[in-house]
Amino acid sequence: MTHAYRSHTCGQLGIDHAGQDIRLSGWVHRVRDHGGLLFIDLRDHYGLTQIVIDPASSAFKMAEKVRSEWVIRVDGKVQPRPAGTENHELPTGLIEIAAREITVHSEARELPLPVFGDTEYPEDIRLKYRFLDLRRERIHNNIMKRGAIIDSLRARMKGQGFFEFQTPILTASSPEGARDYLVPSRVHPGKFYALPQAPQQFKQLLMMSGFDRYFQIAPCFRDEDARADRSPGEFYQLDIEMSFVTQEDVFEAVEPVLRGVFEEFGGGLPVTQKFPHIAFKDSIRWYGTDKPDLRNPIKMQAVTQHFAGSGFKVFAGMIASDPKVEVWAIPVKGGGSRAFCDRMNSWAQGQGQPGLGYVFWRELGDSVVDEQLARAFALVAETPQGRKLVAESGGAVPGVGTKLSAVDTAILNFGLQKLQLEGKLHEAASWWSKYMESAGPIAKNIGPERTEAIRNQLGLNVGDAVFFVAGVPAKFYKFAGEARTKAGEEMNLIAKDQFAFCWIVDFPMYEWNEDEKKVDFSHNPFSMPQGGLEALETRDPLTINAYQYDIVCNGVELSSGAIRNHKPDVMKKAFEIAGYPEDVIIEKFGGMYRAFQYGAPPHGGIAPGVDRIVMLLCNEPNIREVVLFPMNQQAEDLLMGAPSEATPKQLRELHIRLNLPEA
RNA sequence: GCGGGAGUAGCUCAGUUGGUUAGAGCGUCGCCCUGUCACGGCGAAGGUCGCGGGUUCGAGCCCCGUCUCUCGCGCCA
């Protein structure tokens, strides 16, 4: 026994070690004192080992003294546990250590935060005692998984010929974007460095320096308020940039990295194999957001024409008064009950909306097949799909006088759809009135034919519902998206247990700033506009898209990227449209603008957020569960006590005098 | 900056219509206990009910203000 602290770790010993004299060091996880016999679960980074102390043991006196989270050393012999007392939950559960001697490395005071167990604790206490919190199994594992994920990301990037670079932390403030963290310069009174919001300009400069394929696990600093999925202050990106690439080349480089890492660490959950491309415009229209959760099957559609000139005066009037007004439908399979529709309606009211109009479809009670329907069933049964349905209903076409069953309803629905395809809306509507009904105030107002047309367009059946949102889409799409999410959650339609990825592409280059009545860059000002200089010179800026894209997974925006604008004349024009003359470009982006003048390769990149990737893979709803020492919502580090006051000497050196707000 | 939720023992929480001495579990301390692994049993200590004000004979509970944490909005090219 030569090592001062341990011969093995607490996760290492098994039945093969039985009989060996060993030495372990670790934390006292849990003590079970039986008076005569005493057990200690000893924990280190690697695992848990049961120590057993017999009253006859020389270690017994000390064993009775130790408490949770003391750090101790145990000398003893590995022995198989007596038959029947093995713990198969524990990797080391077949053995235990018969202690001969226990020495205390370090005692622990009464804990503000128990390590044992998985109770929730208040965040401020967890952050103040983060070192204790980090001993706890779940977050300890999260942090280790984070490291493994980053290793894997690195290996996958290097495997594709990317090279890792380090870019400056103290750099220049950049306009637009988030608020910068500033660092005062001692040497240059009154001047400040800024911490990089992202190494955006540096990675582009690397391309202009001829390095071709850059990546970095890059720290980024933004002085913005926190969210559950957004740390205040700092976070990490897998920052990527490539030369001589189109948008497709970037997708092909990044997709396998993300797919691979999600397959490797996603606990075997299925991962989208080929990420679908969804245009920004479509994403808004279908999902009401530019970060859609594709696990939710609900896809919205415009049904404006069915309301134009209809008896539902509220919508019809809006449509007549403004050509921009649309009515969007949120179809909800299985949502066809009064209770659910009312619940959605009152939820909408809670969101400050006037309500949520709906239609749902149900069978008329005690519907019986009449001659007309029996004839229709016979016709339907001739078609392949009809044959299948009839087979499911028991092989017989329902005859006159029989009661409608659930499967008959499916046949009926199929027949109705056929009628509609043939344009026989009137006949379809008359069927409805006989065997089924549409419920909800809107159905009554617009009448059976329009209701039936909506049902058909959305492919809905008995037992389904649809909700309507009307107005100018730009103003209501967000709420529509929330209603889609709400309905999906309420009806349990969201297929959890998968990673559903997509690319959102064709982001608009500019957007209208209503406050300042001007055109703004809607995302990255360095993005290449689709159509290049010609588009900038000839088209309405608000209709121009950029080669700008996002990756979204399960409704979480994982990253944003773009093909960059590497042409000085295009850049000059692009900034001019947003109201920035050339001297502003030179002042704010001088280094990069200069580089563009001396041979810039076409290039582009992307920057997936590492913390969010880890969060998804650890199945954590909060980013602080995957960050070692996060700050709280007020951007304070409660453990280190940051931010803190500077001494007068420090301030003097920095030429700074405080001008504090009145208390 | 704004809105929602929370704040009761070291920790997790309960606390009825405003009514006697504010409870439980975990933890801590003491005693008992030789096969537990969320060990068990008995007992004890531990409370500015976030803070301040108000209503009331009486406030953990009602009202006003305020602080802290959190979720969201704003913000995040």
Q: Determine contact, residues A588/A549, Cβ cutoff 8 Å.
A: no
Q: Determine contact, residues A417/A456, Cβ cutoff 8 Å.
A: yes
Contacting residues 314-373/A vs strand B (CB within 7 A): none
pLDDT in tens, A405-436: 666 777 777 777 777 777 777 777 777 777 77
Cβ neighbours of residue A137 under 8 Å, at least 6 residues apart? A118
Compute the mean pLDDT over every residue in chain A, rounded to the nearest whole number: 90
Measured CA distances, A307 to A228, A439, A445, A468, A470 (Å): 40, 17, 10, 10, 10
| Amino acid at the residue A192 | F
Distance CA A160, CA A213 (A): 9
E strands along A269-346, which residues? Answer: 277-279, 301-302, 326-332
Element (H, E) at A155: helix A137-159
Contacting residues 631-650/A vs strand B (CB within 7 A): 632-634, 636
**What's the CA–C1' distance between A631 and B74, in Å?**
21
Please report the pLDDT score of residue A395 as a whole number. 65
**Cβ contact A223 with chain B strand, < 7 A:** no
| Amino acid at the residue A475 | K
Phi, psi values for residue A55, rounded to 5°: -55, -25
From the list A535, A526, A533, A588, the residue with the least C-alpha distance to A560 is A526
**Cβ contact A65 with chain B strand, < 7 A:** no
**What's the CA–C1' distance between A494 and B72, in Å?**
22
Contacting residues 126-185/A vs strand B (CB within 7 A): 174, 176-179
Distance CA A635, CA A233 (A): 7
**Cβ contact A107 with chain B strand, < 7 A:** no
| Secondary structure percentages of chain A, helix, strand, coil, to 5 | 35, 25, 40
Six-digit token string for A373 = 């329907």
Q: Determine contact, residues A499/A271, Cβ cutoff 8 Å.
A: yes
* Strand A233-243 to A603-606 pairing: antiparallel
Q: Determine contact, residues A419/A428, Cβ cutoff 8 Å.
A: yes
3-class DSSP assignment, residue A364: coil
Six-digit token string for A129 = 């005692």
Measured CA distances, A291 to A330, A477, A573 (Å): 17, 13, 30
Six-digit token string for A457 = 């367009």
Residue nearest B26 (alpha carbon to C1'): A114
**What's the CA–C1' distance between A25 and B34, in Å?**
25
Burial class (CB in 10 A: 0-12, 13-18, 19+), A637: middle
HEC string of A533-580 equals HHHHHHCCHHHCEECEEEEEECCEEEEEEEEECCCHHHHHHHHHHCCC
**Cβ contact A475 with chain B strand, < 7 A:** no
For the four alpha carbons of A306, A445, A318 and A298, in that order, the dihedral sign comes to negative
Chain B bases closer than 7 angstroms to a protein Cβ: 1, 10-13, 26-29, 32-40, 68-77
**What's the CA–C1' distance between A38 and B34, in Å?**
8
Six-digit token string for A180 = 């910068």
pLDDT in tens, A116-174: 887 778 888 888 889 999 999 999 999 999 999 999 999 999 999 999 999 999 999 87
CB atoms within 10 A of CB A644: 8
* For residue A217, pLDDT beyond 80: yes
Please report the pLDDT score of residue A405 as a whole number. 66
pLDDT in tens, A628-658: 999 988 888 888 888 888 999 999 999 999 8
pLDDT in tens, A482-498: 999 989 988 889 888 99
Which nucleotide lies closest to A523 by the C1' atom and the CA atom? B77
Task: Kindly provide the ipTM of the predicted complex, given to two decimals.
Answer: 0.89
pLDDT in tens, A228-271: 899 888 999 999 999 999 999 999 999 999 999 999 999 999 99
**Alpha helices per DSSP H over A322-362:** 338-350
Six-digit token string for A387 = 């044959």
From the list A230, A325, A338, A284, the residue with the least C-alpha distance to A557 is A230
Cβ neighbours of residue A652 under 8 Å, at least 6 residues apart? none
**Cβ contact A81 with chain B strand, < 7 A:** yes
Please report the pLDDT score of residue A663 as a whole number. 52
Q: Ramachandran region of residue A423, left (φ > 0), alpha (ψ -120 to 50) or beta?
A: left
From the list A376, A396, A374, the residue with the least C-alpha distance to A387 is A396
**What's the CA–C1' distance between A335 and B22, in Å?**
47
pLDDT in tens, A350-406: 777 888 899 998 877 667 777 777 777 777 777 777 777 777 666 667 677 777 666
pLDDT in tens, A163-186: 999 999 999 987 778 899 999 999
Residue nearest B28 (alpha carbon to C1'): A110
Six-digit token string for A20 = 């060996």
Which nucleotide lies closest to A81 by the C1' atom and the CA atom? B35
Cβ neighbours of residue A74 under 8 Å, at least 6 residues apart? A23, A24, A25, A40, A42, A51, A59, A97, A99, A101, A102
Residue nearest B77 (alpha carbon to C1'): A177
Which nucleotide lies closest to A116 by the C1' atom and the CA atom? B38
Six-digit token string for A83 = 């038959």
**What's the CA–C1' distance between A105 and B40, in Å?**
30
Contacting residues 23-52/A vs strand B (CB within 7 A): 30, 32-37, 39, 41, 50, 52
Strand partners, A95: A80
From the list A288, A251, A286, A241, the residue with the least C-alpha distance to A272 is A251
Which nucleotide lies closest to A226 by the C1' atom and the CA atom? B76
